[in-house]
Amino acid sequence: MGVQNAGGFLVRPADPSDWGALAGIDSVAAAGDVARRASIRRWCEEAAVLVAEDPSGPLGYGVLEYTFFEQGFVTMLMVASGARRRGVGARLLGALQAACATPKLFTSTNVSNQPVQRLLHRAGWRPVGLVDGLDEGDPELFFRCPRPRGGSGAG
């Protein structure tokens, strides 16, 4: 069951059949990255995806997994290029936060990805570490959610 917000779009759990449409709005998958397409399909099949959509179709998606030290981790947050700056990323991030079933929730982004860093800062997430060597010349900056709403809130 999804919830529509004032921006006129709905956020709902993705169905396995949504993967193709999500791959179509994912800039990496749409550019032909077979591994990303496979990941999107797997995430949808594993019920790890929330999708934001309006009557025109998907606007973005977020992936919540529990593979980071058994804590929640936002593995992917993707907003279609034509839907950016409309609150889609913030709404997805909030929905992922609410859905998190663990006391801690993390995510990461490249140091070069300033738009995502600004989004995370506005949402109250704080930087907690930096890892070199994942993408050469562009370290990965890790963030922690102030308090997941779906988990116990401890931590």
Place of tokens 């950016």: 84
Read off the pLDDT band of 8 (50, 70, 90).
confident
Domains identified in the chain, total number: 1
User: What does pTM read for this prediction?
Assistant: 0.89
Q: Residue 148 and residue 155: Cα distance in Å, rounded?
A: 10
Residue at 1 is within a domain = no
Q: Residue 138 and residue 92: Cα distance in Å, rounded?
A: 25
Residue at 154 is within a domain = no
Mean local confidence (pLDDT), 108-135: 95
Please state the φ and ψ torsions of residue 77, each to the nearest 5 degrees: -135, 110
Q: pLDDT tens, 44-81?
A: 999 999 999 999 999 999 999 999 999 999 999 999 99
Instruction: Identify the three-state secondary structure at position 15.
Output: coil
Q: Encoding tokens for residue 141?
A: 């900056």
Please state the separation of Cα 127 from the chain's center in Å: 17
The whole domain housing 87 covers 6-144
Residue 10 belongs to domain with CATH number: 3.40.630.30
